[in-house]
Structures are given as structure tokens and as C-alpha cells.
Amino acid sequence: MSDASKFVAACVQMRGGRDPAANREAAVTAVREAAAAGAAYVQTPETTSLIERDRDALFAHVGPQDSDATLATLREVARADRIVLQIGSLAIREGEKIANRAFLIGTDGEIRASYDKLHLYDVDLPNGESWRESATYSGGACAVVAETPLAAFGITICYDLRFPALYRALAEAGATVLTAPACFTRQTGEAHWHILQRARAIETGSFMISAAQGGRHEDGRETFGHSLIVDPWGRILAEAEGDAPGIILAEIDLARVADARARIPTLSHARPFDVRRV
């Protein structure tokens, strides 16, 4: 008899480019490989369908949700392979801007939840690299916990990882597995990726599952890779080797969530406070 508190999770690491059809084919192949290896839950990275920095070129390839070919195809894959599939994000046209939208697909191929990335990556990095997501993307307004037969998943995307209050709120709302699929730049990934992933897991007593883009992309950006699955004690259960495309798998035992939260009950110990500046 199977243990309902345990399941195998997989991250798909990609090196997406400017051709949505090629990205879609790569995602389908990797997702099916993960399912064949025993994964009940599979996650793809942020911007699964397209990595394009040029705004005009991005808009030329992006349409509304109902006509997104990658979403339709991956819904069918989830249904055919009977997996819970989290699409890290797709670029979805919303008027004059684009939503960076994640999807949680059930084993029947139906969309169980969607989430628009809350925090937009407007930064200036030490090497001169600069990003202004707000020029193209619209930020979301609602955090999401998706209930599934496997677990309650708290859905986030990439830059959200730097905002710990979001993850605490998701855990307080019942999430036992937190997710942050990403397209993390190499510079910031080398400095902060592992630390932030482990911190969010430890702070909330939750699993962290984060599929990533990795390598040098056709639009010139370079991403860090190192997809991760981290347990509630902050231990890395699986990590992708560098920035190469591939899959990683790990067993998720939800009893570890209950154990970590019982040993160090920070979620129940938090107290309200004021800040006094003197």
C-alpha cells in the first residue's frame, strides 16, 4: 500500500530560447521523462515557453491564455501521464502588458490554480546588468495556495524569493510545499540562490521546490540553473548539475513538515509588534 504522505517530485531544468515551438518540445520531452521516472509532481521553470528580452519580439510571440499552445500541450501531457504539473510560468498577454503567470495542472489536465508573479525585477546589478520587468510585465495582486491530493502548494516565481513575508503567509495559509521556479541571473544566483531557497524552507518548515533556467540564452542573458529540492530542515535533497538542461527527482515526505514545525514552531510563535524609531 502506498504512503499518501509521500510522493516523488521532479524539477525540469531548461535552457529556453526565442522559439516557442522548440521550447515547448523540450519541455514536453523532459516532463515525460520525469513522469516515466516515477514523478507524481513535475515543475518546469519560469518562462517555460519563451525567453526574449526584446519587448517588441516578446509581444510578437505572446497571446492570451486561451490561445497559448504551450499551456494546451502541457495540459494534455499532465492528463496523459496522470501527473500534477506546475508550469513555472508563461508569458500571457493582458492588454498593453504581459502577465508572468504560473499554472498548476491536475492529473485530469484541468487548470487547478494560476498565479501572476507579484514582485517585478527592477534592478541594477554591480556588473552593469540592468532589468526593468515593470516596463513589460504587470505584477499580480494575490498569493495562491493550491490544494492537490499530493500536498498544498504555495506558488511563487523567481524574484518573489527575496520577500520572506510572502512565504510565511503561504505557510500560515496551509502550504506544505513552497515553489519558486526561476530564471535567476547567473550573478545573483551565484551569490544568493542556495541561501534564499534554504532560508525560505527553514523559516516556514516547508519543502522548497524550484526548477530553473540555466546557461547562456539566445537573447544574451545568462542564468544560473542549479534547480533545487530542499527539505523543511534546509537540507538539499536534489540539485541540478550546474546550468545544463535535465531533470532532478526527490521523495517528498510530508511527515518532515509536521516534524520540523513541531520542533521549531516559528509559525505559531510569531508575535505582533510595533517598531519604534529612537
Residue 167 near residue 179 (C-beta atoms within 8 A): no
Catalytically active residues are 46, 117, 158
**Pairwise CA distance, residues 47 & 112, whole Å:** 19
Predicted confidence (pLDDT) at residue 1 exceeds the cutoff of 50: no
Q: What is the pLDDT of residue 2?
A: 47
Instruction: Sheet with 236-239: list strands edge to edge.
Output: 144-147, 152-155, 177-179, 207-210, 228-230, 236-239
Q: What is the pLDDT of residue 232?
A: 98
Single-letter amino acid, residue 111: I
Q: Which grid cell sits at 207? A: 519543502
Predicted confidence (pLDDT) at residue 79 exceeds the cutoff of 90: yes
Over residues 103-144, the pLDDT tens digits come to: 999 999 999 999 999 999 989 988 888 899 998 999 999 999
CATH architecture group of domain 6-262: 4-Layer Sandwich (3.60)
Predicted confidence (pLDDT) at residue 264 exceeds the cutoff of 60: yes
Average confidence (pLDDT) over 247-257? 98
Single-letter amino acid, residue 108: D
Question: Could you tell me the pTM of the whole model?
Answer: 0.96
The partner residues of 210 in beta bridges, in order of sequence, read 228
Percent of the chain residues past pLDDT 90, beyond the cut = 93
Over residues 14-31, the pLDDT tens digits come to: 999 999 999 999 999 999
Predicted confidence (pLDDT) at residue 235 exceeds the cutoff of 60: yes
Residues 6+ apart with CB under 8 A from 240: 11, 13, 212, 214, 225, 226, 227, 228, 246, 248
What b-and-e string marks burial along 196-227, b requiring 16 or more CB atoms within 10 Å of the CB?
Answer: bbbbbbbbbbbbbbbbbbbbebeeebbbbbbb
